[in-house]
Amino acid sequence: MNYLDAVLLGIIEGITEFLPVSSTGHLILAGSILNIPSTEFLKSFEIIIQLGAILAVLFLYGKVLLKNFELIKKVMVAFIPTAIIGLSFYKIIKTYLLGNNMVVILSLFIGGIIILIFDKWERKNPIEVNSLEKVLNISYKQAFWVGVFQAISVIPGVSRSAATIIGGRMLGVSRIQIVEFSFLLAIPTMAAASGLDILKNYEIILSGNVGMLIVGFVTSFIVAIFAIKTFLEFVKKHSFVVFGWYRIVLSIIITLYFLS
């Protein structure tokens, strides 16, 4: 792994973290295509640079969170299911799922089909465009179940964003509400995932190239700021169907690539 790899992975993370396409899945596949050895350092790198993207959320939404303690409580309620499942299956996830191309490819393909089905369902429901302040209208019950949906994304390739958005819409939350709530829910989720990995693997991280980690972190932060703004504008005018087809086509292309 070199600094160019770190920049490329940072760009991929920044773009895909908040899109319903799975940033973890993209990082794993990109690592394989770039022929980066699937070491414990790389696995930690892929988890920790997500903090850069999360920092972008704090940069954009920090003031709103500080003014709305009620919203913070709802985000934490949604975080609970993921925290329980993430801690319970941490070893399994890190050992058998992260770095597993087959799991990612299948998750991307199946997730793409689910998004296409979801798009047909959503077309039958009015699309509401609300401001961030309306996120406060999400109930604690809805927040908790959104967290349950998010927990599914511990499987690489599922996509945390896709799971929370689809789950939220099925629970009756409007598109802009659930997209922005998904952004905010990423803060404790990815902060906890990165913190846990640093705590358990700090020796591996320090023995690797910390400079590359910093480069990936900063790159993902800068790119994520633009990605968040662009995605919000996109969902106001378009459906998620493009992401469904993208996932399906990508999974097929990657499969053919590995077979060749």
- Residue-level pLDDT at 210: 86
Q: How does 171-208 read in b/e, with b if 16+ C-beta sit within 10 Å?
A: bebbbbbbbbbbbbbbbbbbbebbebbbeebeeebeeb
- Residue-level pLDDT at 125: 67
pLDDT at 126 over 60: no
- Residue-level pLDDT at 207: 79
For residue 119, give both structure tokens.
């798009």
Q: Could you report the per-residue pLDDT of 13-57, keeping only the tens digit for each? A: 999 999 999 998 899 889 988 999 888 888 888 888 988 998 999
Do 101 and 28 contact (CB within 8 A), yes or no?
Answer: yes
Residues above pLDDT 90, as percent of the chain? 51
Q: What is the DSSP letter of 49?
A: T
Distance CA 151, CA 128 (A): 26
- Residue-level pLDDT at 136: 62
pLDDT at 129 over 80: no
pLDDT band at 199 (very low <50, low <70, confident <90, very high): confident
Q: HSE-up of 57 (CA within 13 Å, CB side)? A: 24
Angle between helix 140-151 and helix 175-207 axes, rounded to 10 deg? 50
Number of domains in the chain: 1
pLDDT band at 90 (very low <50, low <70, confident <90, very high): confident
For residue 179, give both structure tokens.
């997209």
CA-CA-CA-CA torsion sign (99, 196, 54, 151) = positive
Distance CA 188, CA 111 (A): 24
Residue among 154, 159, 161, 167 at smallest CA distance from 196: 154
DSSP track, 162-182: HHHHHHHHHTT--HHHHHHHH
Q: Could you report the per-residue pLDDT of 143-153, keeping only the tens digit for each? A: 999 999 999 99
Residue ranges making up the domain that contains 166: 3-259
Distance CA 147, CA 220 (A): 24
pLDDT-wise least confident of 77-91, 115-129, 170-184, 200-214: 115-129
Mean pLDDT of 115-127: 82
- Residue-level pLDDT at 64: 84
pLDDT at 250 over 70: yes
- Residue-level pLDDT at 110: 96
pLDDT at 127 over 60: no
